[in-house]
A = this chain, B = another copy of it.
Amino acid sequence: MLVVMSHTATQDDVNGVCAAIKAMGYTPAPMPGAQRTAVGLVGNDGRVDDSLIAELPGVAKIIHVSNPYKQVSREWRPESTIVTIAPGVSFGGNDVPVVAGPCSVESEEQILESARAVKAAGGVALRGGAFKPRSSPYSFQGLGKQGLELLALAKRETGLAIVTEAMDDEGANLVAEVADCIQIGARNMQNYSLLKTVGRLGKPVLLKRGMAATIQDLLLSAEYVLSEGNPNVILCERGLRSFDTTSRNLFDLTAVPVVHQLSHLPIVADPSHGTGRRDKVIPMARAAVACGADGLLIEMHPHPDRALSDGAQSLTVDQFGDLMHQLRRIASAVDRAIAGAPATRRA
């Protein structure tokens, strides 16, 4: 931590800061400069509260040198973490798994048809919401427990791994019984009670970045899960709030190489929410693999025009097949491979 003194600070002010740092049990390191003095705090163990010093006389600002996150950082653990959610479905290695399926589980027929299409095109995991966080209380809120049962049925039939969202403690326990990976949605990224719960449950967690979350916020939220003893966290970029309405969100793909530098955790991309428009999903999915994403979340619906939610951003089965074909070419161009047996291309 660095305490920057004002241009007009007196030597007494500097001494006051040094004394306060000592009183907190750390060592002050004054650094006189041409324009102003700065005082370093040596021995920061990550528990220093800057507000104790920020308001002392003569202090202009406080600068933090260390990151507040620990276990998630690459400095803590240099080698990349590989999160395996089911046999053969791993995130963070050379293979790039594709998780696909409808926004919501709507019916047995719909989820089975979806699962078969995902499987046929080469996807390795099925997504689909049983509990849906909707902005309006009057929108379809998901089938709940029945939706989870339908996901379990789809898993039995196709062997696909299951990724589905939990919105609260009760739901997390239910989801953990069925899913291979518990998704925490963007709106709950800073729901710390829920993060602790899924940390304790031990199941792999897919943590979506909040709508205005910095990468540091995202990593700190992951730290909540790791600090409960659960190391299996997959991060997910899904687009930020934007002033431009031509896409639903502002898809921040640079988050992929940024996370790879700062953390050992894998990061996947969700171009369906990231763009919100079906015809933008395919190019941006390609871009995600090109910049190094460790997996993809894709919304696909057997009949998007009849979807109960997010129809406009769901691919058709045919489009999904095309996408998988394109992704294999891109993955190969960056010396990776799309996970799963290569499906035969549609004629």
Contact = CB atoms under 8 A, between A and B. Distances in A.
Interface of A: 2, 4, 6-8, 29, 31-36, 38, 40, 42-47, 49-52, 54-56, 63, 65-66, 68-70, 75, 78, 133-138, 167-169, 171, 187-188, 190-194, 210-212, 214-217, 220-221, 223-224, 227, 240-247, 250-254, 256-258, 261-262, 274-275, 278-280, 283-284, 286-292, 304-314, 326, 329-330, 332-334
Contacts of A224: 137
A327 B332 CA distance: 13
A187 B191 contact: yes
Copies in the complex: 4
A55 B191 contact: no
B251 A258 contact: no
Nearest to A199: B137
A137 B253 CA distance: 27
A55 to B, nearest CB: 6
Contacts of A193: 167-168, 171
Contact of A283 (B75, B256, B308): B256
A304 B244 contact: no
Nearest to A76: B7
Nearest to A138: B46
A326 B332 CA distance: 11
Given A55-B278, A68-B138, A192-B133, A34 B43 contact: yes
CB-based closest 3 A-B pairs: A51-B311, A212-B212, A290-B290
Given A54-B311, A290-B330, A330-B333, 8 more contacts: A2-B65, A29-B31, A38-B40, A49-B308, A56-B305, A169-B169, A258-B280, A326-B334
